[in-house]
Amino acid sequence: MEAVDVSVTPETYRGPEWLRRGNSWTSYPHRVPDTLSGLPLHPLVVHAAVVLVPLAALGAILMAFLPRFSRRFGPLVVVVSVVAAASAWLARVTGGTLNETVSVSEEHAEWGHQMPVAAVALALLTVVFWLFDRGVPSNRSRAWWLKALALLVVLVSVVAVYLTVVAGHSGAEAVWASRLSTG
């Protein structure tokens, strides 16, 4: 019996145009749409990440220091952190797509590559921490390893917020510096 080649390439794919185009920047086989209602998708998605990542970090820090907060609001913080990570990753992908048509500074591209990694790490740590922390009875203190995990959650939260601020600032400078210069 002869083998049949069923691999799909951009040349053989017959789906929507935005899926047919290749995207070497993200190394994904398909790419997300470039625009939404005629506007670039990146600026729209970035605002979700800029709001949700610090909010998730704040919730994770509160979970680390306040066991009652963790038990009561842990599921909400987990959901926010996962949505924040997804929006950060989508901002990275759409930023790469936008960079193909509009030049962006190397600094912003570098921060934009690092920020989603921290957001995903924050989401994963928040989920793991909550899953273990919810098993501790309220009349007991946390085990030493859970306290160490809480400190790691705090550290990654601070890093995620820092990278969000720096990536956002460098992106805002790239867009607005020349338009708002008073010279």
Q: Is residue 145 situated within a structural domain?
A: yes
Q: Is residue 13 situated within a structural domain?
A: no
> Burial level of 179, CB count in 10 A (0-12/13-18/19+)?
exposed
CATH number of the structural domain spanning residue 112: 1.20.120
Q: Is residue 21 situated within a structural domain?
A: no
Q: Is residue 4 situated within a structural domain?
A: no
Average pLDDT of span 149-164: 98
Whole-angstrom distance, CA of residue 58 vs CA of residue 60: 5
Structural domains of the chain, count: 1
Q: Is residue 7 situated within a structural domain?
A: no
Q: Which domain holds residue 142?
A: 32-180
- Residues 19-52 pLDDT 10s: 444 444 444 445 567 777 878 888 889 999 999 9
Residue with tokens 């691999």: 7
Whole-angstrom distance, CA of residue 46 vs CA of residue 107: 16
Q: Is residue 55 situated within a structural domain?
A: yes
Q: Is residue 18 situated within a structural domain?
A: no
pTM of the model: 0.78
Q: Is residue 158 situated within a structural domain?
A: yes
> Which percentage of the chain shows pLDDT scores above 90?
52
- Residues 78-133 pLDDT 10s: 999 999 999 999 999 888 877 777 777 888 888 999 999 999 999 999 999 999 99
Q: Are 124 and 82 in contact (CB under 8 A)?
A: no
Residues near 159 by beta carbon (within 8 Å), at least 6 away in sequence: 118
